[in-house]
Chains A and B, each alone.
Chain A
Amino acid sequence: MVAAIPPPLDQLVRFLASEAFVKAAIFPGATFVAVLGILSVWYERKLLARVMLRIGPFHVGKYGGWLQVVADAVKFLSKEFIVPARARKKLFISMPMAALVLAAMLFAFIPFSEYWVIYRSDIGVLLAFLFLAVSPIPLIVAGWASGSKYSFIGMIRFAFQVFAYEIPLFLALTGVIIAARSFDLVEIVKAQTPLPLIATQVIGFLVFFIAAVSEAERIPFDLPTAEQELVEGWMVEYGSVGFLTIQLAMYTKLDALVFLTVDLYLGGWHGPAIPGIPETILQPVWVFVKFLIVLSVVMLFRGVYTRITIKKILDLGWRLLIPLSLVNLFLVSLTVYLPTLAA
């Protein structure tokens, strides 16, 4: 087919059909990430509406108002981008972009099967954690650069919350690395063949999951952006494309964290085989099914929980999750060490 195309064009076609470009641009790359970010907003609105006995969006788009999200995005894009008088202009404009890029970069290391991963690395877990650890910094700077009292208070709350929950996240991750005895995310999923890691590390899973919900700033941990008291907290000065980019970044980060939870604890692409469907297609489907279940749980929190106070958030992080994650590590190191004694 390619041979029939004249010389300058066939190079292009070959490039577009190459494995690297398909992975980077379509699945699990840019198109997938962008569409997933938009659709998870729609999914959340529909799910919350069901919890609150409403219908949710239904006017725009034939099925369940799914085009409403696109309409909202277009509306945001056609609004004037106002930079407040006291804001540091360069930082104020560039930080939402940085937030989106860092959140999207997480997807480069998340495997959907042994084949479907953009960049498989020996230290994939560490690379993913690197981007996870850096991702709050643009948001903190964005709140700071806004030059407004509300965003400043929201920024300080956000910084405290992030500090409190990054260490439990890291310690829980260490437990996974010890149990799977690898830093490669693909190897970690492969190590979960008979039983997913959640079976042996229930405490670790709980710590990681709670810390991940907090990292993504979801209710009950959404104090920094509290819509009612702090009027969106650190992003109060953002409108138009800035707000859109921040929202997209937040949802992309949430999706990436849920995918990480699935890969680290819930057995990734391991699932019962369905006859007739090849493995290369079935494996990403299993990851996606597990992703949808975990995502629904996280989104249900918003429907059923209230926002907790900052003292309780910090207490939970410092006084419960850190000791728990250390105890989990202790148990995991015992399960690795004791078999060597017997041998």
Chain B
Amino acid sequence: MSQADALIYYTILSVLLPLILYAANKLLAPKRSSRRKRLPFESGQVPFEWAETSFPVEYFPYAIIYIAYAVLAVAVFLSAVALVERPEAGFNLVLLLAVLSATSIYAAFSLKELPQRL
């Protein structure tokens, strides 16, 4: 029980810490806002509007690969959990990981050829 208590106290304290910092700032800091202060930072230039054209997202292929690898990591993790329980059934996992490492090495070499911009 004391473990759960410790976790609860710790959570409360770690939430309090930023609140105390913000409260201290509220007490200590001046509050004289002006339009000029609230301008977004643009290296000293007068800020201009956002461009209406589409923003080219570079390295987009990587984001696509992320989806594949994220699912894959979950699958590997689940099979690894099985190994924790029954090491004698490990042959399936060995097989799976052998295939996966081989394919990921192949994918790593072929990724080099991908264009970085779509």
Say whether A86 contacts B43, CB under 8 Å: no
Say whether B63 contacts A167, CB under 8 Å: no
Residues of A222-245 contacting chain B, CB below 8 A: 231, 236-237, 240-241, 244-245
- Contact status of A241 and B25, CB under 8 A, knowing A167-B69, A174-B77: yes
Q: Separation in Å of the A110 CB from the closest CB of chain B?
A: 12
Contacts of A333 in B (CB 8 A): 80, 83, 90, 93-94, 97
Say whether A323 contacts B105, CB under 8 Å: yes
How far apart sit A100 and B69, CA to CA, in the bound complex (Å)?
Answer: 29
Q: Separation in Å of the B23 CB from the closest CB of chain A?
A: 9
- Contact status of A78 and B77, CB under 8 A, knowing A323-B104, A326-B104: no
Say whether A245 contacts B21, CB under 8 Å: yes
- Tell me if A120 is interfacial: C-beta within 8 Å of chain B: yes
Say whether B25 contacts A77, CB under 8 Å: yes
Q: Separation in Å of the A234 CB from the closest CB of chain B?
A: 12
- Tell me if A257 is interfacial: C-beta within 8 Å of chain B: no
How far apart sit A85 and B81, CA to CA, in the bound complex (Å)?
Answer: 50
How far apart sit A83 and B76, CA to CA, in the bound complex (Å)?
Answer: 45
Q: Which of A6-14, A23-31, A292-300 contacts the other chain? A: A23-31
Per-position binary interface string of chain B over residues 32-50, scored 1 when its CB falls under 8 Å from any chain A CB and 0 otherwise: 1101011111110000001
How far apart sit A118 and B8, CA to CA, in the bound complex (Å)?
Answer: 10
Say whether B21 contacts A30, CB under 8 Å: no
Q: Separation in Å of the A259 CB from the closest CB of chain B?
A: 15
Say whether B97 contacts A164, CB under 8 Å: no
How far apart sit A158 and B2, CA to CA, in the bound complex (Å)?
Answer: 39
Contacts of B97 in A (CB 8 A): 326, 329-330, 333
Checking B2, B17, B93 against A20 with a beta-carbon cut-off of 8 angstroms, the contacting residue is: B2
Per-position binary interface string of chain A over residues 165-188, scored 1 when its CB falls under 8 Å from any chain B CB and 0 otherwise: 001001100100110011100000
Checking A86, A104, A167, A340 against B14 with a beta-carbon cut-off of 8 angstroms, the contacting residue is: A104
Q: Nearest CB to that of A329 among chain B residues?
A: B97
- Tell me if A149 is interfacial: C-beta within 8 Å of chain B: yes
Contacts of A178 in B (CB 8 A): 80, 83-84
Q: Separation in Å of the A313 CB from the closest CB of chain B?
A: 10
Checking B33, B35, B58, B91 against A337 with a beta-carbon cut-off of 8 angstroms, the contacting residue is: B91
How far apart sit A107 and B7, CA to CA, in the bound complex (Å)?
Answer: 10
Per-position binary interface string of chain A over residues 91-125, scored 1 when its CB falls under 8 Å from any chain B CB and 0 otherwise: 00100110011001101100000000011100000
Q: Nearest CB to that of A78 among chain B residues?
A: B28
- Tell me if A62 is interfacial: C-beta within 8 Å of chain B: no
- Tell me if B4 is interfacial: C-beta within 8 Å of chain A: yes
- Tell me if A301 is interfacial: C-beta within 8 Å of chain B: no
Checking A30, A78, A80, A160 against B13 with a beta-carbon cut-off of 8 angstroms, the contacting residue is: A30
Residues of A146-163 contacting chain B, CB below 8 A: 146-150, 156, 160, 163
Per-position binary interface string of chain B over residues 7-32, scored 1 when its CB falls under 8 Å from any chain A CB and 0 otherwise: 11111011101110110110011111
Task: List 5 additional contacts besides A29-B6, A118-B10; criterion CB under 8 Å.
Answer: A20-B5, A29-B9, A84-B38, A85-B40, A319-B108
B residues near A (Cβ < 8 Å) are 2-11, 13-15, 17-19, 21-22, 24-25, 28-33, 35, 37-43, 50, 57-59, 62-63, 65-66, 69-70, 73, 76-77, 80-81, 83-84, 87-88, 90-91, 93-94, 97-98, 100-101, 104-105, 107-109, 111-112, 116
A-B contact pairs, 25 of them (CB 8 A): A20-B3, A20-B6, A21-B5, A24-B7, A77-B28, A80-B29, A80-B30, A80-B37, A82-B33, A82-B37, A85-B38, A97-B19, A101-B14, A101-B18, A150-B41, A163-B63, A167-B73, A178-B84, A182-B84, A241-B21, A241-B24, A322-B69, A323-B104, A336-B90, A337-B87
